[in-house]
Amino acid sequence: MRVFRWQRISAVALIFFMTIHMIVVHYPPFHIDFSRIAERMSQPLWQAIDIAFLFFVLIHALAGAYVVLTDVERFSRGKRILAGAAIVIGIAAFIYGVQTILAFGAYYAGQS
C-alpha cells in the first residue's frame, strides 16, 4: 500500500513540475541555449526545483516498475530483492543527478 501511495503523491508532484519544465524550457519567449540553461541552473531556487523534480521522477518510475515486476507474486524473496535493487538504483541515480545539477553552479561561476 505504501508503494501505491508514493506513486500517487509523486504523480501529483510531477504534474506541477512538468508544467514548470514545459513552460520554462520548451516554450520560452526567447531563444534558449546552453548559456541560458547554465545561468538558470546556477541559481539555488532552480537547483532545488530540478532536484525535487528528479526526486519525484525517480520515485514515480521506480515505484511503477516495482509494481509491474511484482504484480504476479503475492510475497516472496524475489520481491524483497527487487525492492532493494530499486532503492539502490534510485539512490545512485539521485546522487548522480544532484551532482550534475550542482555542477552547473560551479560551471557558471567559473564562466562569470
pLDDT tens track for 61-102: 988 887 877 776 666 777 778 778 888 999 999 999 999 988
User: Within 13 A of 102's CA, how many CA atoms are on the CB side?
Assistant: 7
In the CATH hierarchy, which top-level class contains the domain 2-111?
Answer: mainly alpha
User: Given this model, what pLDDT does residue 58 score?
Assistant: 93
Q: How confident is the model at residue 13 (pLDDT cuts 50, 70, 90)?
A: very high
Delimit the domains of the chain by residue range.
2-111
The number of beta carbons lying within 10 Å of the beta carbon of residue 38 is 16
